Structure 1
Amino acid sequence: MQKAVYIILFLFFSQLALATNDDGILINSIPIHFKDAKIINKYSTRIPFKLVDRLIVIEGGIKDQKGNFIIDTGSETMLLNKVHFKTYPFERKQKSTTGVIDFVDNLFEKKINKLSLKEFTLHNRKSDIIDLSHIEKSKKIKLLGIIGFSILKDYEVFIDLYLNQITLTKIDSLGNTLSKEVYLEKIVDSIDFKLKKHTIVISGYIGNEKVKFGLDSGAEFNQIHKRVSKKVLRYFYPKKRVKLIGASKRKIEVLYGNLSRVKLSDKTYFGPMKTILTSLYNMNKAFGTHLDGILGHDFFLQKRVIINYKKEKLYFIKYPLVR
């Protein structure tokens, strides 16, 4: 086994169980604008993104602040970086929150009266305020915040790592898109999922063993719970030990390698994916789930995915060519 090395992964915010709280300060209109967003029609917009290491990052701005936002299906709320919003009023939350490595304190919360996505406008959305400076520093970007479930759930979300763009289409209460002409690409398969709080839970197989995965666009690497059965672990091929740095800067050592033989349906299967072996105990406890693993960046790298939260369904778009 190779010598341990230090890495900082975006795992902490991907698996936050944020405490709910009705308190907050309603502030004046603060529109959020995303750079180079293209309006497809009245209900749909397409936003280009860049990959920073293995994170989906879009450029945008809030008032006089310009910077970057991470798209993270694993985050419950919208998060703003305390470093860049010190002058805005906010209130301390009443509870702490649980991260993948440890507990996180000093959460703050505020309400945004108006959030604009080009022609889309959302009202009275809560945003949690937290110090994201360690992610900002490690990724070498100006990080304004993280866009999570509380924003994404009202749209059908097409994450396309082939063209490096995300398409958001407004949906009704049943999950039907308000526009009938959005995608030119062909849908080749679909699977159902269960929404556990804000976590997308997918049933699948590793080899012949049934497992449950959480889907998280903010996880830079897949994760496998170290307490899964040995029959599952025989398809995990470790390469080296790495050290993760969590929210409170506490470090844990995990195994990094490749995971093979992952299948979600007869049509939906994956080649080897970069994966870490770690404990998912805190996350399972916080969310009331029993996940065996997390599917992150490599899942989206191999599949062009549409997420429909209301219908609890994933759709897979055909790649125009074989990678």
Structure 2
Amino acid sequence: MLRSFFYILILNLSGYAAYAANDLTNPIKFPKAEYLNEYTTRIPFKLVDHLIVVEAELFNKRGNFIIDTGSESLILNKVHFNNLYEHQKSSKASSGISQSIDNIYEKRIKEFILENFKLENKTSDIFDLSHIEKSKKIKLLGIIGYDILKDYEVFVDLHLNQITLTKVDKLGNKLNKHVYLEKIVDSLDFNLKNHTIVLNATVNYQPVKLGLDTAAEFNQINKSVHKHALKYFIPKRRLKLTGIGNKTIKVMAGKLHRVKLSPTVYFGPMQTVLTNLNKMNEAFGTSLDGVLGYEFFVQKRTIINYKKEKLYFINYPIDFK
């Protein structure tokens, strides 16, 4: 049964930054990661409601990070990283579907090290995520977004509850060819709009553009989408949802039927909320008709290759429920 989930909205973290002198030089470590080779690591995750959460350590603090393909950068929770100075304050705001977020701070990370993986000169945005901590009852250190994930092929596996990251070259080719034991059974092209994965799809044969976000606890469909598509949104009840800016909106929740991404990639009914995506589209410079999240990944074991702008799919075992 549907209930009032708190969910992470797609973020827009664009603009310029003023950086402080005391850079973040400590690496982020994933104590439970399994390192398969010099280019590939496998990180177990837990589902907190419908959020994908990995355990990590930074500055001798151990806690949780949300994996969020809808976020542009690495975000640190101000509650746990509060050694900020006024000259670090950013001039930008981060926008979601129902709000814009200001009072964002930024730090430059000289090195983000994932064991054998080293990413240099990454930017971290810092703001208060305490309301998410309270609602989810976890110690939330931050959010890992596109800027960290884009140099890897990312296998999101809700069957085994693990993320596999394998390093790719600038063309998207894996540096180690022997990564997956499972067979890739299908693939799909997408368009990368800034950091947003945009899929061409149909709902009841009506063309729509859908964003893909690992941190969307529910799918979202825009109120302004064509009536032929909305005909197959079956409302069930109203929900109160709170986004990353701690603002609450009321939405209609139900199930969306007849979603198809290609002749061979289609879905059963998915839990979806009917909402207004105008602010998100304005922030991103996009024209999305909806967002696919947890309900997408629970039906499709999915590999994301940002460089090739391609999704790959691996079947669930036949007896998986």
TM-score bracket for the superposition, by shorter chain length = over 0.9
After TM superposition, list the pairs within 5 Å mapping 1:3-82 onto structure 2: 7-12=4-9, 15-25=10-20, 27-82=23-78
Task: Give the RMSD, CA atoms, in angstroms.
Answer: 1.6
**Deviations 1:97-138 (Å, cap 9, x if unpaired)?**
211101111011001111111111111110000100000110
Distance 1:154 1:193, change over 3 A: same
Tell me how far apart the structure 1 counterparts of residues 194 and 113 of structure 2 sit (CA, whole Å).
25
Stretches of structure 2 that go unaligned for 5 or more consecutive residues are: none
Letter in 2 for 1:102: Q
Letter in 1 for 2:168: I
8 Å Cα contact 1:101/1:247 also seen in 2: no
Sequence identity percentage: 57
Tell me how far apart the structure 2 counterparts of residues 310 and 100 of structure 1 sit (CA, whole Å).
27
8 Å Cα contact 1:24/1:110 also seen in 2: yes
- In the alignment, structure 1 residue 114 sits paired with structure 2 residue 111: yes
Distance 1:235 1:62, change over 3 A: same
Tell me how far apart the structure 1 counterparts of residues 245 and 260 of structure 2 sit (CA, whole Å).
35
8 Å Cα contact 2:24/2:107 also seen in 1: no
The equivalent residue for 2:89 is 92
The equivalent residue for 2:262 is 265
Stretches of structure 1 that go unaligned for 5 or more consecutive residues are: none
8 Å Cα contact 2:29/2:58 also seen in 1: yes
Distance 1:22 1:96, change over 3 A: closer
- In the alignment, structure 1 residue 125 sits paired with structure 2 residue 122: yes
Tell me how far apart the structure 1 counterparts of residues 41 and 244 of structure 2 sit (CA, whole Å).
33
The equivalent residue for 2:216 is 219
Say which SS state the counterpart of residue 229 (structure 2) adopts. Answer: helix
Tell me how far apart the structure 1 counterparts of residues 17 and 283 of structure 2 sit (CA, whole Å).
20
Deviation at 1:263, TM superposition (A): 0.7
Query: Which of residues 192, 202, 226 in structure 2 aligns to 1:229?
Result: 226
Count of residues in correspondence between the two structures:
318
Deviation at 1:88, TM superposition (A): 5.3
8 Å Cα contact 1:160/1:166 also seen in 2: yes
8 Å Cα contact 2:7/2:242 also seen in 1: no
Say which SS state the counterpart of residue 58 (structure 1) adopts. Answer: strand
Deviation at 1:8, TM superposition (A): 4.5
Deviation at 1:24, TM superposition (A): 1.4
Letter in 1 for 2:64: N
Deviation at 1:251, TM superposition (A): 2.3
Tell me how far apart the structure 1 counterparts of residues 298 and 8 of structure 2 sit (CA, whole Å).
17
Tell me how far apart the structure 2 counterparts of residues 88 and 31 of structure 1 sit (CA, whole Å).
19
Deviation at 1:28, TM superposition (A): 4.8
The equivalent residue for 2:79 is 83
Distance 1:246 1:22, change over 3 A: closer
**Deviations 1:53-108 (Å, cap 9, x if unpaired)?**
00000011102100000000000111000000012567100122211101111011
Distance 1:28 1:133, change over 3 A: closer
Tell me how far apart the structure 2 counterparts of residues 315 and 161 of structure 1 sit (CA, whole Å).
14
Deviation at 1:302, TM superposition (A): 0.3
Query: Which of residues 185, 197, 200 in structure 1 aligns to 2:182?
Result: 185
8 Å Cα contact 1:11/1:100 also seen in 2: no
Tell me how far apart the structure 2 counterparts of residues 8 and 267 of structure 1 sit (CA, whole Å).
31
Tell me how far apart the structure 2 counterparts of residues 318 and 83 of structure 1 sit (CA, whole Å).
40
The equivalent residue for 1:287 is 284
Tell me how far apart the structure 2 counterparts of residues 94 and 88 of structure 1 sit (CA, whole Å).
15
Tell me how far apart the structure 2 counterparts of residues 36 and 211 of structure 1 sit (CA, whole Å).
39
145-154 or 96-105: which moved more?
96-105
**Deviations 1:7-38 (Å, cap 9, x if unpaired)?**
342233xx111122242135252110112101
Letter in 1 for 2:11: L
8 Å Cα contact 1:6/1:244 also seen in 2: no
Tell me how far apart the structure 1 counterparts of residues 209 and 13 of structure 2 sit (CA, whole Å).
22
Say which SS state the counterpart of residue 83 (structure 1) adopts. Answer: coil
Say which SS state the counterpart of residue 314 (structure 1) adopts. Answer: strand
- In the alignment, structure 1 residue 319 sits paired with structure 2 residue 316: yes
